Amino acid sequence: MSTIKDRQRAAARARLEKEMAERAAAAKKRRQRQAVIGSAIAVIVIAGAAVWIVAALGNDDSSGTEAAAPPPGTVACHWIPEDGSTGGKVKDTGGLPPANAANTGKSTLTIDTSLGAVTAAVDLSKTPCTGAAFTYLASKKFWDNTKCHRLTTEGIKVLQCGDPSASGKGYRETDGQGGPNFKYPEENLPTNAKPTYPKGTIAMAKTSAPSTTGSQFFIVYADTDLPADYTVLGTVTKGLDIVEGVAKAGSDNANGKGDGHPKKEIDIKSITMAAA
């Protein structure tokens, strides 16, 4: 027989999965609207897609030749341009992260918040492209003066941040829909059984569709089970007590019991990535 906590956990997971499914459905409708009408248009679309991929792989040769292998100690990252046509609110960074990212070494992620600093260890051998995205976005001051907009306290124990449009006083219904002008594939997915995402994990938020990682992330303040679909970026080394304090104050239940905006507001002043 299921317990109350089991039912609460299932309800929280269902809300999250429903939200992801709605975004995926919107993306599918957009693709259907853009279906090829006639062979001439098809040629243009295919040619454009080829240029897209070549550019993302960092190959300046548009003659159709194979992209050069990345330098030793790096991997090629696939940055997928995002224009907001799927319904999200896009913040343009003026470009894309480097085509090749280091896959050796470690970095320290520092989230300077209104309540104190949260730091995390990032292993670039496991998350080279996510690490590169964070380094790039941090250099653009992408997250400066934004809010951690979502707190879940029933079943799923996470504080979600990273929406560039979640700023200013108070919360808005659109909080949680923002991201950068690019997305990229997931990496370093959990392989452990349970909990899927242990306490102290920092992982990347995404929709239910693959290759939709962007700028939003969540900090796990208590062991949490979720589908192993979200990139594990790193592990908190300092400041988890800050997140626990926000969780203890509870949410406003805007999305249902135990799921809403944190009552104890936490703003991100800046984020930095530095070699460890």
- The per-residue pLDDT for 140 is 98
pLDDT tens, position by position, 99-113: 999 999 999 999 999
Dist CA 273 CA 276 (whole Å): 9
Rounded Cα gap, residues 274 and 276, in angstroms: 6
Give the pLDDT score at 171: 85
Residue 49 confidence (pLDDT)? 28
Question: Which residues, 6+ apart, have CB-to-CB distance to 168 below 8 Å?
Answer: none
Looking at residue 50, its pLDDT comes to 25
In whole angstroms, give the CA distance from residue 221 to residue 116. 16
Q: Rounded distance, CA 119 to CA 108, Å? A: 7
DSSP strands (E only) in 85-192: 89-91, 100-102, 106-113, 116-123, 146-147, 150-152, 158-161, 178-180, 182-183
> pLDDT value at position 185?
98
* Ranges of residues in the chain whose predicted pLDDT is under 50: 1-2, 27-65
**What pLDDT does residue 13 have?**
62
Written as one string, the DSSP assignment of 177-236 is -EEESEEB---S----SSSSB-TTEEEE---SSSS-B-S-EEEESS-B---TTS-EEEEE
- Domains of the chain listed by start with CATH number: 4-35+69-275 (2.40.100.10)
In three-state secondary structure terms, 122 is: strand
Handedness of CA 243, 23, 165, 249 (dihedral sign): negative
Q: What is the predicted pLDDT for the residue at 222?
A: 98
Query: From CA 215, how far away is CA 231, in angstroms rounded?
Result: 12
Tokens of 194: 């349970």
**Residue 88 pLDDT:** 80
